C-alpha cells in the first residue's frame, strides 16, 4: 500500500528542512467534551498533525473524539495505536507501528496479520512506521505494555542500526520514543546520529516539555516532534512549543 497525502506532508518537512509539531491526544485524558476546545488550541498554535491513541486506552470514544476534532479543525489526524482495537476510519492516516526495538514477535508482525483485513478495508492511509523505544529513565506505560526493553539511552549505535534495518525493510517513517512521560527525553546526540544517516523522516517524542528542548531536537535533525503529557498539564504550552519548531 503506497502512502500518499499525509506522508507527503511529513516528507515535505524533511525535504524542505522544516520541522513539524504534533500533539498527542490521549482519549483517556482529553475526553470528547474537550475536543472542540483542543481543536481550536491546535488551530491557533499552527500544529501540523494530531496523533490519537495510547498504549492502553480505556475510553471507547476514539471515533467520537476524532469526529468532533475534525468538525473544528483541518489538521490531519494520525492514529497512534497501542493495539488494533484503536483503529478507526475517522482518522486520516494510521501509524502502522512495528516495535523494532523489542523482540516481541506479536508487536513486530503478529498483531498486523490479525488486523490486516480490518486495516486494509479501513481506507486509511497506512504509514509503515519503525517504532523504537529509547530508555527515558523511568518505566513507561509503553515499555510495560509491550513487555520489551527499550534501547539504552547512550547506545546511539544500536539506535542507528535499528533505524537502518527499518529503512532497509521499507518503512516509511522512523519514530524514536522515550515513552510518554519519560524523565529524560532522547538525547540530541542520538537524534543527530540517526537523522544524519537515514533518508526517511524521523519522528521524536517522549518527555519533551520546553521550547528549548523542541529547538534542540529540531537542530539535531528531528523532522517531527510529538508532545502529549506536557500539554495535558499546561495547555497554553501548545502555542510555545509549536512556535519553537519554526524558529
Ligand atoms: C497492528 C496495529 C494496528 C497495532 C499494533 C501497534 C503496535 C505494534 C504497537 C507497539 C507498542 C505500543 C503498545 C505502542 C503504543 C504507543 C503509544 C500510543 C504511546 C502513547 O503513550 P502512552 O503509553 O499511552 O502513555 P501514557 O502513559 O501517558 O498514557
Ligand atoms: O507524553 P509525552 O511524554 O510528551 O510523549 C509523547 C509521545 O512520544 C509518547 O509516545
Ligand atoms: Mg496513554
Radius of gyration for the alpha carbons in the chain, expressed in angstroms and rounded: 16
Ligand 1 centroid–CA 80 distance in Å is 7
Binding site membership of 206 for ligand 2 (Cβ less than 6 Å):
yes
What pLDDT is attached to residue 137? 98
Q: How far is CA 199 from CA 3, 21, 63, 128, 151, in A?
A: 16, 19, 33, 15, 21
Q: Which residues contact 24 (CB under 8 A, 6 or more apart)?
A: 50, 51, 52, 53, 80, 180, 205, 226, 227, 228, 231
- Domains: count for the chain: 1
Binding site membership of 181 for ligand 2 (Cβ less than 6 Å):
yes
What pLDDT is attached to residue 2? 63
Helix axes 211-220, 237-244, angle to 10 degrees: 20
Q: How far apart are the C-alpha atoms of 217 and 205, rounded to whole Å?
A: 10
Output the domain CATH number for residue 56. 3.20.20.390
Ligand 2 centroid–CA 230 distance in Å is 9
Pairing of strands 173-177, 49-52: unpaired
What pLDDT is attached to residue 4? 87
Which atom in ligand 2 lies closest to the alpha carbon of residue 206?
5
Q: Which residues contact 168 (CB under 8 A, 6 or more apart)?
A: none
Which residues sit opposite 224 in a β-bridge? 20, 203
Q: Which of 194, 185, 175, 190 is nearest to 132 (CA)?
A: 175
Ligand 3 centroid–CA 54 distance in Å is 4
Best residue among 50, 52, 81 to mutate for probing ligand 1's pocket (most ligand atoms within 8 Å of CB) is 81
Q: Quickly tell me which residue has 495505536 as its cell.
A: 81
Q: How far apart are the C-alpha atoms of 82 and 159, rounded to whole Å?
A: 21
| Domain ranges, residue 52 | 5-244
Q: Quickly tell me which residue has 523482540 as its cell.
A: 103
Ligand 2 centroid–CA 177 distance in Å is 7
Which atom in ligand 2 lies closest to the alpha carbon of residue 142?
10
The protein residues having their C-beta less than 5 angstroms from ligand 3 (an ion) are 26, 54
Question: pLDDT 10s digit of each residue in the chain, 247 long?
Answer: 567 899 999 999 999 999 999 999 999 999 899 999 999 999 999 999 999 999 988 877 899 999 999 999 999 999 999 999 999 999 999 999 999 999 999 999 999 999 999 999 999 999 999 999 999 999 999 999 999 999 999 999 999 999 999 999 999 999 999 999 999 999 999 999 999 999 999 999 999 999 999 999 999 999 999 999 999 999 999 999 999 999 8
Three-state SS at 14: helix
Of all ligands present, the nearest one to the C-alpha of 207 is: 2
Query: Which cell numbers in the block locate residue 87?
Result: 483503529
Of all ligands present, the nearest one to the C-alpha of 181 is: 2
Q: How far apart are the C-alpha atoms of 66 and 60, rounded to whole Å?
A: 12
Which atom in ligand 1 lies closest to the alpha carbon of residue 108?
8
Q: How far apart are the C-alpha atoms of 203 and 178, rounded to whole Å?
A: 11
Is residue 79 within 8 A of residue 109, CB to CB? The reply is no
Q: Is 139 exposed, middle or buried (0-12, 13-18, 19+ CB in 10 A)?
A: exposed
Amino acid at each position: 500500500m503506497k502512502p500518499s497525502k499525509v506522508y507527503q506532508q511529513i516528507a515535505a518537512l524533511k525535504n524542505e528542512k522544516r520541522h513539524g509539531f504534533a500533539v498527542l491526544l490521549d482519549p483517556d485524558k482529553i475526553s470528547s467534551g474537550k475536543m472542540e476546545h483542543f481543536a481550536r488550541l491546535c488551530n491557533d498554535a499552527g500544529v501540523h498533525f494530531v496523533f490519537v491513541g495510547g498504549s492502553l486506552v480505556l475510553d471507547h470514544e476514539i471515533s467520537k473524539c476524532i469526529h468532533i476534532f475534525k468538525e473544528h479543525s483541518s489538521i490531519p489526524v494520525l492514529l497512534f495505536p497501542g493495539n488494533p482495537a484503536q483503529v478507526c476510519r475517522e482518522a486520516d492516516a494510521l501509524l502502522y507501528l512495528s516495535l523494532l526495538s523489542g523482540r516481541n514477535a506479536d508487536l513486530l508482525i503478529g498483531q498486523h496479520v490479525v488486523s490486516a483485513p480490518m486495516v486494509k478495508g479501513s481506507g486509511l492511509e497506512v504509514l509503515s512506521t519503525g517504532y523504537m523505544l529509547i530508555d527515558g529513565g523511568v518505566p513507561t506505560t509503553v515499555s510495560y505494555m509491550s513487555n520489551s526493553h527499550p534501547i539504552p539511552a547512550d547506545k546511539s549505535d544500536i539506535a542507528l542500526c535499528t533505524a537502518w534495518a527499518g529503512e532497509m525493510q521499507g518503512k516509511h517513517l522512523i519514530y524514536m520514543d522515550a515513552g510518554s512521560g519519560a524523565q529524560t527525553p532522547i538525547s540530541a546526540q542520538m537524534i543527530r546520529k540517526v537523522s544524519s544517516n537515514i533518508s526517511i523522516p524521523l519522528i521524536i517524542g517522549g518527555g519533551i516539555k520546553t521550547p528549548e528542548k523542541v529547538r534542540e531536537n529540531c537542530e539535531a535533525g528531528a523532522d517531527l516532534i510529538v508532545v502529549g503529557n506536557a500539554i495535558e498539564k499546561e495547555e497554553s504550552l501548545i502555542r510555545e512549543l509549536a512556535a519553537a519548531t519554526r524558529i
